[in-house]
Amino acid sequence: MDEPMDAEADSTQPELGKENVSQAEEHPLLRPGSMVMMTLTPGDYESQYWPKLEEAINHLLTMAPGQGIPISYEQMYSCVYKCVCKQFSERLYSDLMQYMSKYLEGKNEEFQAWEKEDGRQFLEKYYSVWNQYQQALAGIVPIFNYMNRYYVESKLKTNLHTELKKLFRKHILEKHLAHLFSVLEQSSNTPFIIPPALMCNTIQSLHSINPEYATLKPELFSRFIPNVLPHTSVTELDRYIEETQNMQIEMRKLDGFNSCESTRKRYREEEGPVK
C-alpha cells in the first residue's frame, strides 16, 4: 500500500468555505481535512509538527500509572496524518525510533545502578519500568496509527508495536538479562523471598517480549508459563517426584510453615465406626 497522496486523503472531506479556511489557518493541526490543503516543508516539520509529537511522546513515557493524559489525541493524530500525506513518513518513523531509543538508553543507565541493589528491589524496578513503557505504547501506537498503516506495515512489513518492543529488548533486556535470570533463579531456589506475584509478572513480561527466552531457562519459565516444557516421558517421572519431595522439604524449613500433625486421628477414627 503506497503512502496516500493529498488528493486521495482529501477526497472524503467537504470543501472548505471562507470561514473554515480562516479557522484552518489559525489552527493548522486542527483536523485532517484542513491539513491536506496546506504545504509542508522540512522546516515546517521540524519547527511545528515534530515538536508537538515529541512533547506528547514525552508525556506518555513519563506519566505515572493511572495519571490523566494532558494531550489531545485528535490533534496529535492529525499531525501524523498531515506528515504522512506530505511524504514525511520515513522521517517521522526515524525520529520516533531515535527518540524512543534515547529514552531507553537513559533507563539503561539507571538499570546499571539498580543492579547493585538487592534482588527484590531490582525486580520491582524492572517491572515498574516495563509496565510504564507498556502504558506509553498504548498511547503512542494509536497516535502514529496512520504512519503504521501506510509506512510501517506497507513498506517495512512489520508493525509499530512490535518494533517499539524490540527497542526495549535491545536497550534494556539484552544488557541486563543475565542479572535478571540470576535474581530469578536464586529466588526460585528459596521460595517466598520475592513475592510470587512479582516473580510471575516478571517471567510473563520476559516471555511476552521474546518467547525465545524460555528456551534459555525452560525450568524457570515452566513454573509460570504453560506448555513451555516438552511433554513428560515415563523415564522422567522419578526425577519429577524427587524434585517435588525436595521442594516440600525446603518449604517445611521456612519459618511459620505448619504442617498437619501426623499423630492426629480423623474424627471418625476417634469415635469408632459409624453404626
pLDDT at 273: 55
3-state helix, strand, coil in the chain (%, to 5): 70, 0, 30
Residues 146, 84 contacting (CB under 8 angstroms): yes
CA–CA separation, 66 and 238 (whole Å): 49
| Domain boundaries 6-245, CATH class | mainly alpha
In one-letter notation, the amino acid at residue 139 is G
Which candidate, 167, 170, 149, 169, places its Cα nearest to that of 159?
149
pLDDT at 22: 42
With residue 65 as reference, give the H or E element that holds it. none
Contacts (Cβ under 8 Å, ≥6 apart) of 131: 65
Instruction: Quote the pTM value.
Output: 0.71
Contacts (Cβ under 8 Å, ≥6 apart) of 125: 110, 111, 114, 117
CA–CA separation, 118 and 228 (whole Å): 28
User: Within the chain, which residues score under 50 in pLDDT?
Assistant: 6-32, 35-36
Residue with cell 524434585: 243
pLDDT, one tens digit per residue, over 103-149 is 999 999 999 999 988 889 999 999 999 999 999 999 999 999 999 99
pLDDT at 250: 77
pLDDT at 99: 98
- Rounded to 5°, the CA angle 30-2-99 comes to 60
